[in-house]
Amino acid sequence: MIATSRKPRAFAPDPDAPGRGCDIPNCPHQGEFRAPKSRSTLREFYWFCLDHVRAYNASWDFYKDMSPDEIEAELRADSAWQRPTWPLGRLGAHARMDEALEAELNAFAFGQHAKPAPQAGAPQELREALGTLELGWPVTLDEVKTRYKELAKRHHPDANHGDKGSEERLKRINLAYATLRGKLAANQARTAETVAD
Ligand SMILES: [Zn+2]
């Protein structure tokens, strides 16, 4: 690999690839490209070869209403993936990913969502909680609630096969939410009083 590019390419091999084979059963290639496992588990990834990550991305709409388990079962059903007619048949109308989705997938692929949100100016005692919920500052109580619901759903042990890590993460999320909610609700009450005066 001598090619250098200033901008990340859509399908550049991921430097964080775990160095194992493609997650599609019986695929002989390296799994160098990541793809979110489902809409509800966007931070967990499959590792695919180039062809399969393209196919998976193009099938994103097809998986829209499936749970992570259903997607997993679909991917494991190698008849669906190994049949020579698969790419055309499956991709069909969805062969072209829309730009927004492509940007979204690339953002995940290049870890842009993993960067902490800017918290400059946030009260010291709230920074950890903001970091846990991946929120910037300032933030409203509604924004905190919305993010909390998202994260609580994503990290719920039921959605992660009872994974111990998810359970721990969920505890931190709950704690961060309680901290932020308490503080922001108090601020809102104070603002309301001021306005009423
Ligand atoms: Zn593959």
For the stretch 155-180, pLDDT in tens is: 777 777 777 777 778 888 888 888 88
Strand partners, 48: 33
pLDDT at 159: 73
Residue 23 lies in a domain: no
Of the two residues 166 and 49, the one the predictor is more confident about is: 49
Q: Do 128 and 192 reside in the same domain of the chain?
A: yes
Domain-ending residue, one of 50, 80, 113: 113
Residue 4 lies in a domain: no
Cα(97) to centroid of ligand 1, in Å? 19
Q: Which of 133-137, 138-142, 149-153, 163-167 has the lowest mean pLDDT?
A: 163-167
Region 41-50 average pLDDT: 83
Cα(65) to centroid of ligand 1, in Å? 24
Cα(115) to centroid of ligand 1, in Å? 29
Cα(136) to centroid of ligand 1, in Å? 38
d(CA 21, CA 105): 21
Cα(128) to centroid of ligand 1, in Å? 39
CATH number at 140 reads 1.10.287.110
Domain-ending residue, one of 113, 136, 157: 113
Residue 38 lies in a domain: yes
d(CA 98, CA 179): 39
Cα(142) to centroid of ligand 1, in Å? 42
The answer on pLDDT for 104 being more than 60 is no
Domain-ending residue, one of 113, 147, 173: 113
Q: Do 62 and 84 reside in the same domain of the chain?
A: yes
Mean pLDDT for all residues in the chain: 72
Show the domain range for 74: 33-113
d(CA 45, CA 35): 5
Cα(159) to centroid of ligand 1, in Å? 26
Structurally, the chain folds into a number of domains equal to 2
Task: Tell me if the bond preceding 138 is cis, omega within 30° of 0.
Answer: yes
Indicate the helix (H) or strand (E) that contains 133.
Answer: none
Q: Which of 66-75, 103-112, 176-185 has the lowest mean pLDDT?
A: 103-112
